[in-house]
Amino acid sequence: MDDTEIPQGRTRTYATIIYTESAPKDWKDILQEEHIPCLISPLHDKDINKDGTPKKPHYHVMLMFDSIKTRKQAEKVFKKIGGVGAEVVNSPRAYARYLCHLNNPEKAQYPIEEVVSFGGADYDMYINTAKDIYTTIGDIMDFCIANNIVCFADLLVHTKETQFNWFKIICDHSMLLCQFLKSKYWDENRQGVKHAAKVTKHENQAEEPTQEDIAK
């Protein structure tokens, strides 16, 4: 595809492939010095060709320019890092998810924690759909129930240290999760009060004298 196939021959987002065997050893440092928002996939070392043979280990790199650029301008950057090709990216969200094959369960899956971001690019912003966020909030609620967490501060500290992706979602939906924990705490205490009341009633009944005791 040449530039004439793109409206006005320009776009903002391009992608390339980096093969470890042919790229400069410091290609990531070189790219970072360009100060262009970009995302770098984890090393794809488990991809398989259609004939069943393994693909050469490689990285996918997506550049997101602040203004529209021609393919030749993108190629100029990619050449510095040993990039192969300059693919026009029609959907940054779809390509960002492709970095880890999130929409392709039949392909090798790669951890999103290993995606590298430069130039202020936010990987989570690109990949998280509304459904993903709701699913994660549900997972956080289940975690609180399973681990008997009722303190919002405890949840924040724990996720900040161990589950930073959760931490960011909690910060963005703090009111909802605060109300959930408050309601959980209130319900558990209400159940505790009911149980205590039943125990007290049972004990009082046990202490009341029977007719046989009175006759004695």
Q: In this predicted model, what pLDDT tens digit does every residue of 65-111 receive, in sequence order?
A: 999 999 999 999 999 999 999 999 999 999 999 999 999 999 999 99
pLDDT of residue 6: 45
Residue 115 Cα distances to 111, 135, 206, angstroms: 8, 21, 66
Residue where a domain stops, chosen among 127, 157, 188: 127
Q: What is the CATH classification number for the domain harbouring 8?
A: 3.40.1310.30
pLDDT digits (tens, 9 = 90+) for 44-56: 999 999 999 999 9
* Domain match, 91 and 137 both: no
How many domains does the chain contain in total? 2
Q: Which amino acid, residue 205?
A: Q
* Domain match, 181 and 143 both: yes
Residue 66 lies in a domain: yes
pLDDT of residue 205: 55
* Domain match, 87 and 164 both: no
pLDDT digits (tens, 9 = 90+) for 120-140: 999 988 888 778 889 999 999
Residue 96 lies in a domain: yes
Instruction: List the strands of the sheet with 116-118, edge to edge.
Output: 84-88, 11-19, 58-69, 38-40, 116-118
Residue where a domain stops, chosen among 69, 97, 127: 127
Cβ proximity of 107 and 47 under 8 Å: yes
* Domain match, 32 and 83 both: yes
Q: What is the C-alpha separation between 96 and 41, in angstroms, rounded?
A: 8
Q: What is the DSSP string of 63-92?
A: EEEEEEE-HHHHHHHHHHTT-EEEEE-S-H
* Domain match, 91 and 149 both: no
* Domain match, 112 and 163 both: no
Question: In the numeric block, which tokens belong to residue 7?
Answer: 């409206």
* Domain match, 119 and 197 both: no
Q: Which residue has the higher pLDDT, 69 or 203?
A: 69
Residue 209 lies in a domain: no
* Domain match, 118 and 178 both: no
Q: What is the C-alpha separation between 83 and 75, in angstroms, rounded?
A: 8
Residue where a domain stops, chosen among 127, 149, 164: 127
Cβ proximity of 92 and 100 under 8 Å: no
Confidence of residue 1 (pLDDT cuts 50, 70, 90): very low
| Total length of the chain | 216
* Domain match, 62 and 162 both: no
Domain limits for position 84: 3-127
Residue 123 lies in a domain: yes
Residue 216 lies in a domain: no
pLDDT surpasses 60 at 195: no
* Domain match, 161 and 198 both: yes
